[in-house]
Structure 1
Amino acid sequence: MKAITVVPGEAGRVRVEEVPEPPERDGALLVEGRLLGICGTDLDIVEHGYGWLPHGQDRLVIGHESLGAVLEAPPDSGFSPGDHVVGIVRRPDPEPCAPCSQGEWDFCRNGRYTERGIKERDGYGSQRWRVEPEFAVRVDPALGDCGVLLEPASVLAKAWEQTDRIVARSSWRPRTALVTGAGPIGLLAALMGVRRGLEVHVLDLEDRPPKSTLARDVGAVFHTGDVRAAGVAPDVVIECTGHGPLVFDATKAATPNSVVCLTGISGGSAPAPVSTDEANNRLVLGNTVVFGTVNAARRHYEQAARALAEADRAWLERLITRKVPMDSYAEALRKHPDDVKVVVDLRA
């Protein structure tokens, strides 16, 4: 079978090659790979050396945003041939810390977790892959190709779950949310905010389709420029860009008792002037919570599956703006101006 393999940090060594069938140790479910989503993490692995090779291997099968159809399943697995499934990314460490032992590997404390397609485990970028039943999530077949959005949606399901938990510290309830960034993560964050009945505002650099139209069509108000120019006083901020200065701008605009959730990783190194005393006073006097979130547990995948199943299928389909064959994986890493979500067809 064919697989997309890389050497982290060596962009010129991406290739599609023949590899052995997936070993049974990877899991009892044999799955036909259908689609593979691409995100910034994949670019970081290929070009910047993020990621870890599996022990004893000199190449990594990349890919953590999966969608496949079950080919073989044990009778007691809870799955049947033909089921559409997504593989969970993270696995608990071999000697589980307290969170990992409770199924909260997204809160691993010792860093010894592994991740499919990222850290010490081959990913889902192959024509067939195996997965443990407990790390497979069934998706509604009516979603079709949109099922590949489940993994990124799980990250936002966790972000909103944690935000809701923090908001519950008082009797006050938010009305307005600001999402910064109109990429796939930001648009999925907006979708989930609108589903909660919030007035959602999306802020991005440029007012250009399809991002701006997708934001408006999901029920959000779209803005460009900086936070101050948007004129929004958010009760909740879901920050999806990883742009450091924007975090501080968001805390300035936020209302008292607000919650600011950070989902993006900063890639820049340019210094920016920040008054730390002013920021401290603002957070303390405003009862403001700023927290970061990464990865997702099984329950977040299940929450995301419900959110996608209830969403407008036509809107979800518009998030997938480009589909490429396996041989064009390296090209797919290069974003086009009108890209939102790029996916690889593992059958082509």
Structure 2
Amino acid sequence: MRALTVHPGVPGSARLEEIAEPDAAAGSALVEVLAVGVCGTDREIVEGQYGAAPPGEERLVLGHESLGRVLEAPPGEGLAAGDLVVGIVRRPDPVPCACCAAGEWDMCRNGRYTERGIKALHGFCAERVRVEPGFLVKLPPELDRIGVLVEPASVVAKAWEQIERIGRRAAWFPRSVLVTGAGPIGLLAALLGVQRGLSVHVLDRVTRGPKPQLVRDLGAAYHTGEVSVACPGVDIILECTGVGQLVFDAMRSTAPGGIVCLTGISSGKRLLEANFAALNRGLVLENDVVFGTVNANRRHYEAAVRALAQADPAWLERLITRRAPLDRWREALDRGPEDVKAVIELSPPSPAPPRSPPPHAR
């Protein structure tokens, strides 16, 4: 069968090749892969910046944002042939730490976790994969065209869960949220903010292409420029770029008692001059919180499925701005200036008939 593989640490080593059928030891469920999403992590692995092959192997099968269809599954696991599924990316460490033992592998404390398509486990960009049933999340049929968005949506579902947990430390009645960055994570974060009834603002540097209209069609406001000018004094900020200046500006721009969630990862290549003494004073005196979040566990995937099922499917499909077949995988990795989410299709589902959005979708 065909798979997209890379030699981690070797730039330009990605290639489409024939590999063996998946080993049954990898999982008792056999899944036909329909599509995988491409994100910055995949591009960094292809560029040789990141990634690790399984022990004893040189090459890694790419792909951690998946959509598949069950071909066979053991009885008693809640799965049947034909079910649409998404594979969970992270696996707990073998020790395990206290968090992994409790199913909170996204909060692993000793770093010995593994991740499909990223760290020491083959990914989903192969025509067929084996997966442990407990690491498959079932999707409703109406997500057949956009189920590949579940993995990035799980990241923001976790972010929102933690924001709300932190907010309960005091009497808290948030009204506004600013999302910095209108990429897939930012737009999905904005969607979940709208679903919570908040006044949502999105800040990005682009002025053309699909992003501004995607934001406005959510009923949210689109901004460019500086955080402090575009949207000062918001209750919540989700920082989705990792740009150092934006991170710093976000920490200075909330209302008292504000919460800043950092989901973007900085490259560390640019120095930033900042008055951290003044920042410290503001954070302390206003009871602000700044925290980081990454990855997701099963309940976050399930929350993501519910959020996407409530959204306008036509709006969600507009997030996927490029679809490339497996044999033209390079087209998905070569990010265009107006791309939001690129997807590699291995075996795309049949076109679905037109559907009306759910009555409660915005």
> Which TM bucket (shorter chain)?
over 0.9
The answer to whether structure 1 residue 150 and structure 2 residue 137 are counterparts is no
* 1: CA distance, partners of 2:148 / 2:62: 15
Q: Deviations over 1:233-274 (max 9, x none)?
A: 210000000011111111222100000000001124221111
Q: Match of 1:42? A: 42
* 2: CA distance, partners of 1:37 / 1:162: 25
Matched AA of 1:71: L
How is 1:68-217 mapped onto 2 (pairs within 5 angstroms)?
Answer: 68-217=68-217
- Structure 1 residue matching 2:12: 3-state secondary structure: helix
Matched AA of 2:273: P
Give the fraction of aligned pairs with identical amino acids, expressed as a percent.
60
* 2: CA distance, partners of 1:26 / 1:158: 27
Q: Match of 2:343? A: 343
Matched AA of 1:326: L
Q: Deviations over 1:284-329 (max 9, x none)?
A: 0110000000000100000000000010000001000100011222
Q: Match of 1:240? A: 240
* 2: CA distance, partners of 1:128 / 1:285: 55
Q: Deviations over 1:191-246 (max 9, x none)?
A: 00010110000000022220110011112100011112304321000000001111
Matched AA of 2:89: V
Superposed structure 1 runs of 4+ greater than 6 Å apart: none
Q: Match of 1:254? A: 254
* 1: CA distance, partners of 2:110 / 2:247: 27
Q: Deviations over 1:80-137 (max 9, x none)?
A: 0000000000000111100000000001010000000000000000000111110000
Kindly state the Cα deviation for residue 49 of structure 1 after the two structures are TM-superposed. Answer: 2.6
- Structure 2 residue matching 1:11: 3-state secondary structure: coil
Q: How many residues align?
A: 348
The more displaced of 43-52 and 336-345 is: 43-52
Judge conservation of contact 2:201–2:231 (CA < 8 Å) in 1: no
* 2: CA distance, partners of 1:269 / 1:22: 39
* 2: CA distance, partners of 1:38 / 1:115: 15
Q: Match of 2:55? A: 55
The answer to whether structure 1 residue 11 and structure 2 residue 11 are counterparts is yes
* 1: CA distance, partners of 2:286 / 2:141: 45
Judge conservation of contact 1:206–1:225 (CA < 8 Å) in 2: no
> How much is the aligned-residue C-alpha RMSD, in angstroms?
1.0
Matched AA of 1:112: R
User: What is the TM-score of this pair, normalised by structure 2?
Assistant: 0.94
* 1: CA distance, partners of 2:269 / 2:131: 38
Judge conservation of contact 1:159–1:293 (CA < 8 Å) in 2: yes
Kindly state the Cα deviation for residue 11 of structure 1 after the two structures are TM-superposed. Answer: 3.2
Judge conservation of contact 2:178–2:231 (CA < 8 Å) in 1: no
- Structure 2 residue matching 1:343: 3-state secondary structure: strand
- Structure 2 residue matching 1:145: 3-state secondary structure: coil
- Structure 2 residue matching 1:12: 3-state secondary structure: coil
| Structure 2 gap ranges (5+) | 349-362
The more displaced of 44-53 and 236-245 is: 44-53
* 2: CA distance, partners of 1:244 / 1:298: 31
The more displaced of 40-49 and 98-107 is: 40-49
Q: Match of 2:360? A: none
Q: Match of 1:292? A: 292
Judge conservation of contact 2:22–2:128 (CA < 8 Å) in 1: yes
Q: Match of 1:309? A: 309
* 1: CA distance, partners of 2:318 / 2:268: 30
* 2: CA distance, partners of 1:40 / 1:18: 25
Q: Match of 2:29? A: 29
* 2: CA distance, partners of 1:275 / 1:232: 19
User: What is the TM-score of this pair, normalised by structure 1?
Assistant: 0.98
Matched AA of 2:92: P
Judge conservation of contact 1:35–1:145 (CA < 8 Å) in 2: no
Kindly state the Cα deviation for residue 10 of structure 1 after the two structures are TM-superposed. Answer: 2.3
| Structure 1 gap ranges (5+) | none
Judge conservation of contact 1:2–1:18 (CA < 8 Å) in 2: yes
* 2: CA distance, partners of 1:85 / 1:20: 22
- Structure 2 residue matching 1:257: 3-state secondary structure: strand
